[in-house]
Amino acid sequence: ADAFWASFRPAKPFIVGLNCALGPKQMRPFIERFATVADCFVSCYPNAGLPNAMGGYDLEPAEMAEQIAEFADAGFLNLVGGCCGTTNHHIQAIAAAVRDKPPRKRPAPSPHTLLSGMEELTLSDQIN
């Protein structure tokens, strides 16, 4: 997430996030890191869990909403939705779970230079 952010930061994106491929549990460490390093809004559109052997998704609306509510409680999110396997019931449950939670506060942009290749490099006063 750090190298990704260092690569995209110069474009000054309005929002950064993850969509599809993972369920909320598997997406959490990446969203948490984006919430820490990104000075733009953060979004999360997970699948309803990982696909089962038949290609379906087994994460029930209430369980998915509970996991997403934990993200909101931790201050990770500005925008949330769902991707593969989510239904209108999932979205309704997620909306109800985050309705009264404050959105993530964006951190001030870092004054340090960020560079990236395969891993990020931050140039700051502590570089010596």
Annotated binding site for Zn(2+): 20, 83-84
Structure tokens at 59: 């994460």
- Residue 115 dihedral angles phi and psi, to the nearest 5°: -125, 155
In the annotated binding site, the residues are 20, 83-84
Whether 38 contacts 5, CB under 8 Å: yes
Structure tokens at 58: 């087994």
Q: Among residues 41, 33, 39, which one has the least CA distance to residue 16?
A: 41
C-alpha to C-alpha distance for 27 and 44, rounded to whole angstroms: 8
